[in-house]
């Protein structure tokens, strides 16, 4: 079992839908990152959080440390949101451990 599990692996939505991507982890962590990988391959950081909730535009990230779970929400989804979303945790090994990613496709 991977230390970081994401669900679903693939997600297809219609433009305007509310989207949730989940991340569960099995180790103690000090921080959790959400990243976006564009179709061209580039990776950008969306959020870093250690507790609670963060919001940036239409994106919201939450974390529940006790339940070892995080969610990434996208409100009013748009085709330009189509990408791979990656969860990564910063554990005791002083490095990021990454999930396999969730492929999101938003159709117009």
CA 45 to each of CA 12, 17, 35, 87: distance values in angstroms, whole numbers, following the listed order = 22, 23, 4, 10
Q: Binding-site residue total for another protein (CB under 8 A)?
A: 24
Kindly state the smallest distance separating residue 9's Cβ from another protein, in Å. 11
Query: Which one of residues 4, 13, 19, 21 is an interface residue with another protein (CB under 8 A)?
Result: 4
Distance separating the N- and C-terminal Cα atoms of the chain: 36
Residue spans of alpha helices (H) in the chain: none
Kindly state the smallest distance separating residue 38's Cβ from another protein, in Å. 10
Kindly state the smallest distance separating residue 102's Cβ from another protein, in Å. 11
CA 17/CA 41 separation, integer angstroms: 25
Under 8 Å between Cβ of 106 and 15: yes
Q: Which is nearer to another protein, 4 or 83 (CB)?
A: 4
Residues 25-54 that bind another protein (CB under 8 A): 29-31, 33, 41-45, 48, 50
Q: By CB under 8 A, name the binding residues for another protein.
A: 2, 4, 29-31, 33, 41-45, 48, 50, 86, 88, 90, 94-101
């Amino acid at each position: 079992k991977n230390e970081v599990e994401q669900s679903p692996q693939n997600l297809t939505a219609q433009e305007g839908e509310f989207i949730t991507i989940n991340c569960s982890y099995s180790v103690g962590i000090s921080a959790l990152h959400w990243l976006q990988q564009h179709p061209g391959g580039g990776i950008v950081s969306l959020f870093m959080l250690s507790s609670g909730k963060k919001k940036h535009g239409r994106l919201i990230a939450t974390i529940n440390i006790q339940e070892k779970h995080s969610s990434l929400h996208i409100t009013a989804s748009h085709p330009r949101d189509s990408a791979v979303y990656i969860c990564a945790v910063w554990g005791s090994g002083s490095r990021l451990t990454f999930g396999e990613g969730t492929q999101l496709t938003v159709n117009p």
